[in-house]
Structure 1
Amino acid sequence: MFNPSNNRAAVFSDENVLQIGSVREKWHDDFGGTTLREDLWEVEEDTGGMTYSVSQSYLRVSMGTTPNARLSFLSKQTFTIPCDLSVVAQASQRIVDNEWFYEIVEVDEAGRPVTNPNLPGDWANRASLAFYSVATTNAARLEVVGQSVPVAATAGSTSYGSSTSLIEHCVEFRPQDTIAATHSVDSANSRGSQLRLSRSVPDPNKLYKLRLRFRNLGTAPASNTNVDIYKVLVMDVQELTAEVIGGRGHSSAAMAIPTLVTGTPTVTVAGISSASPQTYSDTSTNLGANATFTGSSRDSTTTPTRQRVAATFFSLQDSAPNGCRIEFSTDGTNWRPARVGTLAGGVPVQLEAWLTARYWRVVMVNGATAQTQVLVTSGAYFN
């Protein structure tokens, strides 16, 4: 049985130095040999109708076709929440009328699962990754029961990951939630589909055991299903809350805090953003004498990380006085100038303004001479 005093996450040594560790206990079985290890497992329930064997580094459960058959394996090791579970497994098929579960279940001081007085046939606290009675190979369901609630909370998906392919199932049991995800075996890829529940999660103050549970329903399954389990790993961890205040002030790679970023994110740190500017080519069409160009209305809510507008006006001919403008509007109908300028032929004018309204646009009013060359561009920026 797990003894927290023998696997401490943070203790003071005799020299009063705080020693920190996050993993309190590692427990695993890769099913070597030809029999189930009695120091790791006990057969909790076996009603007949199912068989199991150990060979070639996996545990095979043959679920058979007997209605209401039950078979479950309970770890002899106990765990506490938070803990992580990893199961590498593969099923021969998915059909209706049989189900299996990878789960943790609350146990009493004698190591026996605690029944739920408010939910007959269930347990006081459990969290399960369930492969339930459907013929869809990618279907899975996360189920949790916490503190003897009368109904289990569930989150299901029909695109979780193929249970008939060799796949790693990763389940994180935390005081605040339970999360399940798939991971390709022997791959450096990131985790795949995820399921999460934050309602009715198991009580983190209780003691738990790992259980592999298999059952046939009341109707006989059409044929036998083999479930092969290649690895089971449980890490009993202690979460530590820490504030990262810097990489010791160094700019060298050797002292930096490693970070993996996937995709193309927008990151804002201390007033700085990696968001690219949104730029526009407003017009290059020459205006006649005293004519006006009015640019398209731009909605700032489509680029919420941008806070500043800039525009550049160029023509070989003079503009009208204050004929170069950035205008703002709160409703897209009524406009007022935010920045204005006068262009002398051949000398570009650049205007900038902080966004103080939802909509913005550029306007250019030509002077008394028809233009022979013109270009107006604008953009929205973060800073």
Structure 2
Amino acid sequence: MTGSFENIPGTRFRGTRDPEGWKPQMLATTAQDRFYTQFFAFDTTLDFEVLHLTALGGTGPLSPGVAPSMAITGPLGGAAALSSPYIAVDMGTTVDTATVLLCRDQETGAPLIVRPPVELRAMVTLSQRLAENNVLIGFFECDPVTGVLRRGTTYAALPTFLNSRNMCAFRLDGATATQSNGIYRAAESGAFTIGATSFTGFTTVATGTAPDLSAPDEMVLSFERDAIRFRTIDVNSPTVVPTVVRRSDAVPNPTASYRVGLVFMNPSGPAPVSATIARVHMLNVLDSVRLDTSPRNADQDIQGAWPVQHVGQIGARIDSVSPTINTDSTTALGAGATLTGASRDAGATATFSYFAANVTADQAGTVRVEKSTDATTWRRATADLALAANGVVDVRIPVTVRYHRVIVVNGGVAQTLMMATSAYLRT
């Protein structure tokens, strides 16, 4: 497609113009992040609800807390270059048990409830792969108000699917580290499974040396109104092409509400010979926009449907607003003193993708970013990041709320040099 990318006169659409005329872009917007964590902290108040089952059958509610014989530790790792913090779930060896992490609204702590189209991105590694372990990462139907999982067995009982009425998820099972399944269920019916061998170039083996480990691959689950797509992406290779598997038969109910969850399960049957450690390195949930839903493109991938161009965070110019570089302070802090940066406003629309802050000082201290929906009540957006003497802290987080600010806390020695700056970024 040739021509410039701009607004179509007299319409709400954007498009390209070439000798044949206007080619409309069906939607001009960016996806909105609903949840994001790289596990600088494990917050069960604003990030995760922790539940468990000690009998996988049935349709009753899940119980609060971690399943007996399982344990969650962390964050761990992250000290070595290119390693990432993570939480570790010790899955134990007790059968017919499961621990479930359900995402919360990171502003209010209420259950995070989503509806298609929505996308989940996750990076998970395992210490070993055993046929007696199941790890599920995906969407599970819930009550649209309370967020309680809806479970049923009208047509079939599927304990390893949590008996969810409707669901779709990646499933890490079997003894082969280079394989994953895509699974889903619709209307309390039987199971649909996409074979593990479909996902080539994929592994759940972590890279690095414990405890400083990272995930070499990313799993992406796109839950659309007429299809679900499972993708695996090698994040460390510029040559490996992502594997994409699409299913559109008997999809989970697109009008239902869903919770985003991670399930760590030892099904009924032979007990695991030893405990598997499952590590979660990253979890991201965002509203996924189907840019062109006309019938001619119903079977196209979101990035390949003509005449749609990918409008959003990478490459496309979305308006004329330029990032503003802010100097929060260049005044040295006394011993134990705190700098509270000015409130920075991202605006009411999704103009920027990230808030970034950079702090340097000649004495040790800590740096964090805080976020707010109203510039009055502030909550942590990051953990306290260590600032070494004569060091630099450079932090960047996705923009999921309107207001942000940087906080610098000096240690026990007065500074003679300090500079804190911040900015909103597109990419």
TM-score normalized with structure 1 length: 0.55
- What secondary structure, in the 3-state scheme, does the structure 2 residue paired with 1:53 have? strand
Q: CA deviation at 1:62?
A: 0.9
Amino acid at match of 1:91: L
Return the alpha-carbon distance in structure 1 between the equivalents of residues 236 and 166 of structure 2: 33
> Against the structure 1 CA distance between its residues 135 and 26, is the aligned structure 2 distance closer, same or farther, given a 3 Å change threshold?
same
> Against the structure 1 CA distance between its residues 201 and 191, is the aligned structure 2 distance closer, same or farther, given a 3 Å change threshold?
farther
Return the alpha-carbon distance in structure 2 between the equivalents of residues 213 and 72 of structure 1: 5
**Pair 1:183-2:233 in alignment:** yes
Q: How does 1:359-378 map to 2 (within 5 A)?
A: none
Q: How does 1:13-24 map to 2 (within 5 A)?
A: 20-24=28-32
Return the alpha-carbon distance in structure 2 between the equivalents of residues 158 and 175 of structure 1: 26
> Against the structure 1 CA distance between its residues 245 and 231, is the aligned structure 2 distance closer, same or farther, given a 3 Å change threshold?
closer
> Cα deviation per residue 1:282-327 (whole Å; 9 max; x = unaligned)?
xxxxxxxxxxxxxxxxxxxxxxxxxxxxxxxxxxxxxxxxxxxxxx
Q: CA deviation at 1:216?
A: 0.9
**Pair 1:127-2:168 in alignment:** yes
> Against the structure 1 CA distance between its residues 246 and 83, is the aligned structure 2 distance closer, same or farther, given a 3 Å change threshold?
closer
Structure 1 unaligned regions, length at least 5 = 1-14, 248-253, 256-383
> Against the structure 1 CA distance between its residues 201 and 246, is the aligned structure 2 distance closer, same or farther, given a 3 Å change threshold?
closer
Number of residue-to-residue matches in the alignment: 232
> Against the structure 1 CA distance between its residues 80 and 221, is the aligned structure 2 distance closer, same or farther, given a 3 Å change threshold?
same
Q: How does 1:347-362 map to 2 (within 5 A)?
A: none
State the match for 1:213 in structure 2: 263
> Cα deviation per residue 1:316-357 (whole Å; 9 max; x = unaligned)?
xxxxxxxxxxxxxxxxxxxxxxxxxxxxxxxxxxxxxxxxxx
State the match for 1:39 in structure 2: 46
Equivalent residue for 1:199, pick from 233, 243, 249: 249
Aligned 8 A contact 2:292 2:308 in 1 = no
Equivalent residue for 1:54, pick from 74, 91, 95: 74
> Cα deviation per residue 1:7-40 (whole Å; 9 max; x = unaligned)?
xxxxxxxx9967842414431111113x334212
Return the alpha-carbon distance in structure 1 between the equivalents of residues 101 and 175 of structure 2: 24
Structure 2 unaligned regions, length at least 5 = 1-9, 14-26, 53-65, 77-84, 105-111, 207-214, 294-304, 310-315, 318-427
Aligned 8 A contact 2:33 2:284 in 1 = no
State the match for 2:302 in structure 1: none
Aligned 8 A contact 1:144 1:200 in 2 = no
Return the alpha-carbon distance in structure 2 between the equivalents of residues 50 and 244 of structure 1: 49
State the match for 1:365 in structure 2: none
> Against the structure 1 CA distance between its residues 16 and 183, is the aligned structure 2 distance closer, same or farther, given a 3 Å change threshold?
closer
Return the alpha-carbon distance in structure 2 between the equivalents of residues 194 and 207 of structure 1: 25
Return the alpha-carbon distance in structure 1 between the equivalents of residues 11 and 45 of structure 2: 41
Aligned 8 A contact 1:177 1:199 in 2 = yes
Return the alpha-carbon distance in structure 1 between the equivalents of residues 11 and 308 of structure 2: 25
Q: CA deviation at 1:70?
A: 1.4
State the match for 2:132 in structure 1: 97
State the match for 1:140 in structure 2: 180
State the identity %. 22
Equivalent residue for 1:226, pick from 272, 277, 296: 277
TM-score normalized with structure 2 length: 0.50
> Cα deviation per residue 1:351-378 (whole Å; 9 max; x = unaligned)?
xxxxxxxxxxxxxxxxxxxxxxxxxxxx
Q: How does 1:195-274 map to 2 (within 5 A)?
A: 195-218=245-268, 219-241=270-292
Return the alpha-carbon distance in structure 1 between the equivalents of residues 237 and 45 of structure 2: 31
Return the alpha-carbon distance in structure 1 between the equivalents of residues 267 and 147 of structure 2: 27
Q: CA deviation at 1:244?
A: 5.9
**Pair 1:67-2:60 in alignment:** no
Return the alpha-carbon distance in structure 1 between the equivalents of residues 286 and 256 of structure 2: 16
Amino acid at match of 1:112: V
Q: CA deviation at 1:199?
A: 2.0
- What secondary structure, in the 3-state scheme, does the structure 2 residue paired with 1:116 have? coil
Equivalent residue for 1:158, pick from 197, 206, 211: 197
Aligned 8 A contact 2:51 2:67 in 1 = no
Aligned 8 A contact 2:39 2:87 in 1 = yes
State the match for 2:421 in structure 1: none
